[in-house]
Amino acid sequence: MNFDQMTLSPLDSTDLDAFLAIYSHPKISNLIELQLDREAIRNNFELALSEKNSVSPKQLINSIRLSEESEIVGMIGFIWDRPGGQSGELGIVLMPGKTFKGTANVAMKRFIETLFTRYAVTLIHSRHNVTNKAAFFVAKSVGFEFEIRRDPLDAEKTYRYGEISLSRWQSVHPITPTSPS
């Protein structure tokens, strides 16, 4: 699969149906360990959409398409640790059966580069269930370094916590200048 035509676009009001389909899919709900009803998903969508043009957003969500004309196949997002800060958590979800091997890797690379170059982010972290091997391998392949941690709210649960700093990113993936939008 050639990913040259893949697009990452800021969340738009027309993306609601795809957002609902992705976040209500049982496989995705199980992987991210978050069971939300349609109303809660709709509320999250509206919140994310309201942040789109904020000077100091709390989150940034992009839709992922394999080409400009194709349907949305996933979402990738970043939640700042604090508004105006330089660090936060990255997450990606892809609709099962709608993507090809390498989709998550390419989307993560493009999105991370945008975070580092356009938003002055200096540290990105990611966490996921230890059983989510796909998330681990994709994040590791783009340069995240991981450790196993216990959930502070549930000592029986563990998760993988990973980070990538701007300096590590630059050593693994030299940043190419982008034109301002």
Convert the pLDDT of each residue in 108-153 to its tens digit: 999 999 999 999 999 999 988 888 888 899 999 999 999 999 888 8
Radius of gyration of the chain (CA): 16
Q: 176: which DSSP letter?
A: P
- Quote the CA–CA distance of 41 and 125 in Å, as a whole number: 23
Q: Are 124 and 162 in contact (CB under 8 A)?
A: no
The three-state secondary structure class of 13 is helix
Residue from 24, 22, 20 nearest 36 by CA: 24
Statement: residue 179 has pLDDT above 50: no
Helix (H, G, I), strand (E, B) or coil at 106: helix
Answer whether 80's CB lies under 8 Å from 57's CB.
Answer: yes
CA distance 60 to 120: 13
Domains of the chain: 7-172 (3.40.630.30)
Q: Is 31 exposed, middle or buried (0-12, 13-18, 19+ CB in 10 A)?
A: middle
For residue 118, CA distances in Å to 83, 104, 111, 179 come to 15, 21, 10, 10
Tell me, yes or no, if the pTM score tops 0.75: yes
Spatial CA neighbour of 130 closest among 146, 154, 153, 107: 146
In this prediction, residue 97 has a pLDDT band, given cuts at 50, 70 and 90, of confident
pLDDT tens-place string over residues 149-167: 988 888 888 889 999 999 9
pLDDT tens digits, 27-50:
776 666 566 788 888 888 998 898
| C-alpha closest to that of 143 among 169, 124, 167 | 169
Q: Which amino acid is at 126?
A: S
